[in-house]
């Protein structure tokens, strides 16, 4: 019976072609195959975000008067609301972590080499979107920590020369953080960003299918991958083991470390001590904090922003700056840059928590 249904659908949807493609797809097997799973992991966690996010939408209210209470309601009155909410908050962090692992592994294996430049660029856009998702979502519970973290974050945006003032007002929906900011962030988080993300994810995944998996230069030099494994079922089964592990981690975190409710945001109270943005912005935050007030007559903050901006531009344009074959002096420098960036980001993220106060 199921077979007849499948046939009926296949005839109309052209499923046979898709099945053919899936069966043809294979994945190179070598020392670095492990890193291939992280893209799928990021996508899986994104799927979790969409599902739990949609569920949260059924009870959440995006007004300054009701946001906090609605989250409290979800945590305490709705059956398993605590689980859905905690999974959503934890999975956001896990997703961004997975995205960064995916990005660094792609960079250090030079997966951005031609013809995969657009894959890299779309991936960087997706990372930016993830950070935007995280930043906008963080405000929605409308608690003290979120309120002031958003204030600090948007303050920094305001420091960008020329466009900073406009960007600040665009993000905040005015000069100050208010109920208007909440509504706007909600709109970004549930409509605008998902729409753009769906598009870009589509492009990114299509490109990956089109070009297949990139093989690191070191493996190519050693004579290429010894063998390839079929995507279906071998790679997929392995993917699913990873996804199950992620699910287990999420269950553990949600039950043992439920996401805090915090105190309702009070714009007139003083900022809580030790206020800082979420960890994925930590290294930027720490860089800004450690800047001296002036360097060669220019404001330290501006120097930091310019530096980070420049670094980001280099990172984004890596496919065009690196040697197209992924070898030689330029390639080695690029790898070194990647390692330095990784160490820098990890170190500075950790420094935020070591209580390295200015």
Q: Which residues bind another protein (CB under 8 A)?
A: 55, 58, 65-66, 69-70, 72-73, 75-84, 86, 229, 233-234, 237-238, 240-241, 244-245, 247-248, 251-252, 254-256, 258-261
Least separation in angstroms between residue 254's CB and another protein is: 7
Indicate the residue among 237 and 296 with the shorter CB distance to another protein.
237
Hey, what are 341's tokens?
């960036």
Indicate the residue among 56 and 345 with the shorter CB distance to another protein.
56
Closest CA to 188 of 129, 276, 127: 129
Indicate the residue among 73 and 315 with the shorter CB distance to another protein.
73
Least separation in angstroms between residue 86's CB and another protein is: 7
Indicate the residue among 3 and 358 with the shorter CB distance to another protein.
3
Closest CA to 304 of 246, 344, 255, 263: 344
234, 115 in Cβ contact below 8 A?
no
Least separation in angstroms between residue 77's CB and another protein is: 5
146: CB partners within 8 A, 6+ apart:
138, 139, 140, 262, 265
DSSP string, 214-262: ---HHHHHTTS-SEEEEIIIIIHHHHHHHHHHHHHHHHHHHHHSPPP--
Indicate the residue among 93 and 349 with the shorter CB distance to another protein.
93
Least separation in angstroms between residue 265's CB and another protein is: 15
Least separation in angstroms between residue 270's CB and another protein is: 21
Least separation in angstroms between residue 43's CB and another protein is: 18
State which H helix or E strand residue 288 sits in.
Answer: helix 282-290
Residue carrying structure tokens 């531009």 = 313
82, 21 in Cβ contact below 8 A?
no
Indicate the residue among 160 and 261 with the shorter CB distance to another protein.
261
11 vs 331: CA distance, rounded Å: 49
């Amino acid at each position: 019976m199921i077979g007849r249904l499948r046939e009926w659908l296949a005839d109309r949807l052209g499923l046979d072609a898709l099945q053919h493609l899936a069966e043809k797809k294979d994945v190179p097997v070598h020392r670095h195959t492990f890193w291939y799973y992280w893209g799928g992991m990021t996508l899986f966690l994104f799927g979790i975000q969409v599902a739990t996010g949609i569920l949260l939408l059924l009870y959440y209210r995006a007004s300054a008067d009701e946001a906090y209470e609605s989250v409290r309601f979800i945590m305490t009155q709705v059956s398993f609301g605590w689980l859905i909410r905690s999974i959503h908050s934890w999975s956001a962090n896990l997703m961004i972590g997975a995205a960064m692992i995916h990005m660094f592994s792609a960079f250090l294996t030079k997966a951005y080499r031609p013809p995969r430049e657009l894959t890299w660029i779309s991936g960087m856009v997706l990372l930016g979107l993830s950070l935007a998702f995280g930043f906008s979502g963080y405000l929605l519970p409308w608690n003290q920590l979120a309120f002031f973290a958003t204030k600090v974050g948007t303050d920094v945006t305001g420091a960008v020369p020329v466009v900073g003032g406009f960007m600040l007002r665009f993000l905040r929906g005015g000069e100050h953080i208010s109920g208007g900011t909440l509504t706007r962030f909600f709109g970004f988080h549930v409509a605008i960003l998902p729409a753009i993300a769906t598009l870009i994810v589509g492009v990114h995944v299509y490109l990956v299918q089109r070009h297949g998996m990139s093989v690191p230069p070191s493996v190519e030099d050693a004579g290429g991958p010894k063998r390839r494994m079929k995507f279906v079922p071998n790679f997929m089964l392995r993917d699913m083991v990873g996804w199950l592990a992620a699910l287990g981690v999420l269950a553990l975190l949600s039950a043992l470390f439920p996401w805090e409710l915090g105190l309702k945001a009070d714009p007139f109270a003083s900022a809580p001590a030790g206020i800082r943005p979420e960890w994925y912005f930590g290294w930027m935050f720490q860089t800004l904090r450690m800047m001296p007030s002036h360097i060669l007559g220019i404001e330290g903050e501006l120097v930091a922003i310019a530096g980070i901006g420049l670094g980001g531009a280099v990172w984004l344009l890596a496919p065009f700056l690196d040697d197209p074959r992924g070898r030689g002096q330029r390639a080695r420098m690029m790898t070194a840059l990647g390692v330095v960036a990784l160490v820098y980001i990890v170190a500075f993220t950790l420094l935020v928590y070591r209580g390295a106060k200015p």
